[in-house]
């Protein structure tokens, strides 16, 4: 069974631009969560989608948004990029039941210049 895939793996943008990251969950998984990992703040939860609906949201500004498609693939978008948005963005998928393991993708490394 293929794991969680994220594209692109690396991205370089400049301040003020916007970016879209993509995540394909494991086949059959309906929940997709996004996390931001930085050296200063560590791993922080961004949001979770299930059946095309945002079910949970972390404490991030409105510049960070996401969506989920009917095939469970998810995208996250960051508008008006700031230097501080440079991070590893991790996507995780799970089959929806309590206590199930979240399977993480390799991440997208975003650098904002």
Distance from C-alpha of 83 to C-alpha of 71, rounded to nearest angstrom: 33
* 46 vs 112, beta carbon nearer other proteins: 46
Q: Which is nearer to other proteins, 70 or 98 (CB)?
A: 98
Nearer to other proteins, 18 or 54 (CB): 54
- Min dist. Cβ of residue 73 to other proteins (A): 17
Give me the half-sphere count of Cα atoms (radius 13 Å) on the Cβ side of residue 51.
Answer: 1
C-alpha triplet 11, 78, 26: angle, nearest 5°: 70
Shortest CB 16 distance to other proteins, Å: 29
Residues that bind other proteins (CB under 8 A): 4, 31, 33, 35, 42-45, 48, 50, 55-56, 58, 90, 92, 94, 98-107
Considering the complex, what minimum distance in angstroms separates the CB of residue 112 from other proteins?
20
Question: Measured from the CB atom, is 15 or 68 closer to other proteins?
Answer: 68
d(CA 78, CA 89): 11
Cα–Cα distance list, 52 to 70, 84, 87, 107 (Å): 6, 28, 25, 21
């Amino acid at each position: 069974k293929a794991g969680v895939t994220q594209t692109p793996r690396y991205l370089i943008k400049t301040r003020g631009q916007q970016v879209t990251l993509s995540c394909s969950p494991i086949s059959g998984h309906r929940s997709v969560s996004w996390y931001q990992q930085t050296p200063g703040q560590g791993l922080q939860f961004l949001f979770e989608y299930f059946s095309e609906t945002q079910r949970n949201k972390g404490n991030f500004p409105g510049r960070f948004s996401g969506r989920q498609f009917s095939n469970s693939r998810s995208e996250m978008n960051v508008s008006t990029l700031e230097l501080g948005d440079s991070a590893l963005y991790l996507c995780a998928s799970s089959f929806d039941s309590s206590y199930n393991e979240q399977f993480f993708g390799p991440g997208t490394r975003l650098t904002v210049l």
